[in-house]
Structure 1
Amino acid sequence: MYQLTFSFEEFLAEFWQKKPTIIKGGFKDFIDPISPDELAGLAMEEEIDSRYIAKHGSEWDVRHGPLTFDDVPEDNWSFIVQAVNHWHEGAARLVTPFRQLPNWLLDDLMISYSTPGGGVGPHIDQYDVFIIQGSGKRHWRVGPKKDDYEEEFGHPALRQIKGFEPIIDDMLEPGDILYIPPGFPHDGYAIETSMSFSVGFRSPKKQELLSSFADYVIANEIGDVHYHNPDLPARQNSGAILDDEFNAMETMMRSLLDHPEVMKAWLGEHLSNSRHELDIIAAEPVWENAEVHQFLKSGEALKRLGGLRAFYYPEQPSVLFINGERFELPEECGDAAAQLCDAETVTQAQLGEMVDHPAFIDLIAQLINLGYWYPVE
């Protein structure tokens, strides 16, 4: 089990979305949770997002997966695999220490393998990231947050900038952590063959929230009401949109947001959707309720699928939002949602008497058969 060596509360107060920092020895005696060969195997898979990035002099070469490694140079190249926590259980354990942050902010665990000189060039990201140095050493530079960095187009697939004066200029060794908030330019390259593990947190944008809510409103036929004005006055200026008319239609739109239960249902479904593919394998044969009940009563554990997004509202402890869907239990199931969404594994010891509730067992059977939870081996 990976454990942080620093106070997360103090880190949040001083650094979170405020300034970048290097935490030396953030993980003690750090060992890579995945080998380069295993990572390369994932990069060869069709459904897994991966990239190969190399620099030849001033020229950049970028290829998107599935990758092959038959003809790669000796150095100055990297390959990157997204959402490894969805596909490799050992690597997924690296995310657990960061669950002191909200799961709905978590994006993924990205892992890069770099030969000496390998990197992606100076660039700016719009998400929070903890870059954990694994085996090998890597040199990192981080610059101040500004609005006037000039873009450089070394390759169409790379959004690079021309350069910056560093406020951090240091080398990371195994177990060191570099935290970078959104908007701070950074550039890292491998000093020797190395592995880097990036736990990324991505907050939603206004645009995507508005677009998603509009889709939800349409799909659920909410607000299917026309503008009406029985007191419409006659006018000479027929081309004008009068203030009263503008205000009435603006009020119509705003009224869609005036339903907290609708907003909560939409947001729960929206945030529980994953941006990355999941390694979902439906149960075969399907589990019957009696089998699920016996499994839990015997003391066995169920584990949530890596990368699966599962959330709840504390004031609605029997409603769950899982992978874009809403699931509801009877109120007497109490903190069922918290048990399933807060913990990565669930056992009878955690569930108590709930393990004997037919509706809860029925839900667990559904989740197992969907491939969302599975027995711990």
Structure 2
Amino acid sequence: MDVLAEANRMIARGENVISLAVGQPAAPAPQAARDAARLMLDHGRVAYTDALGRGDLRERIARHYQDAYGQSVASERIMVTTGSSAGFNLAFLAAFDPGDRIAIAAPGYPAYRNILKALGLVPVEHEVDASTGYVFTADHLRHLHESGPVAGVLVASPANPTGTMTPRDELRRLVEYADAAGIRFISDEIYHGLTYGQAEETALAFSDSPLVVNSFSKYYCMTGWRIGWLVLPPSLVRAAERIGQSLYISAPEMSQVAATAVFDSRDELDAVRTGYIRNRDLLAARLPGLGYRDIAPIDGAFYAYARIPEGAIGSTAFAKSILERCHVAITPGTDFDQRRGEGFVRLSYACDHASLGEALDRMQALLRG
């Protein structure tokens, strides 16, 4: 976000900055979502809903699990949240007590670590790297748990910042080990719908115990609408509902109405995804020629995570130089991995294809002369 802030200041000065820094689609929310919101505004009344969310949206999300994964999920287990950010808060508060140790991968989304610490929980990070395809495995979880018991584990697939997916069999092993060891499994599935090659799988395919966090921000192109959902084990629904009543009252009703409609926009959304595939292919083809190394498998989401070119003094200084000299914003790896992140950067390819090509041309002029 600091990189984005500086890029925005440059843009305000009239400088032509291309941002590969922030993980949000350049495409607008689908027409059906906007039409539904406009109709509600015309009606005039936007109100609180039940803390768990509108019934029609919860039922539509439940149908999505049947359509997308062949899984029967009761709508009573679904809670609509103010984006996935609120979903993580609610999941952590409902499932854990202060002092509990929660396993996560490094590199990983920095908000995991920050939210856990803010809630009095203890993040326990396990390093993943190119040698293991950046995948957090059941063996990693077993090692952490045997070294010092963990109460929970959070796994993202596709992952941020790497874009790496957990293979289906490995996800099954993770869920089964967690169940057997009494570890709460939280599955971050917010990039589902944005996979290239292997199909994504929900953790709910292997057990009813996981807490699943999802969002309308990424595949559905609704970042600023702040709308997401949780699938909860039956034993945690009432706890999450009561916490949500106190913290949020409810997710914004107009966003809930728009989200219900967006499920009918598959053609529009898949066209956006096709654009990401073009961008992904371009990035994968050109990054090695620019000197980037140890590139994580770009299985899904819209990120590439890579070691900075040899000779660069660190990702923070490297990203600052790229922004100042190329007018291209990229994200230093420091927040994603506190120990090794200064050697890496994340590049988002959620922009339009022409902008990505121009950004790569600018970096090539600087890095390769």
What TM-score do you get using the length of structure 2 for normalisation?
0.23
Q: Which has the higher strand share?
A: 1
Q: Which has the higher helix share?
A: 2
What TM-score do you get using the length of structure 1 for normalisation?
0.23
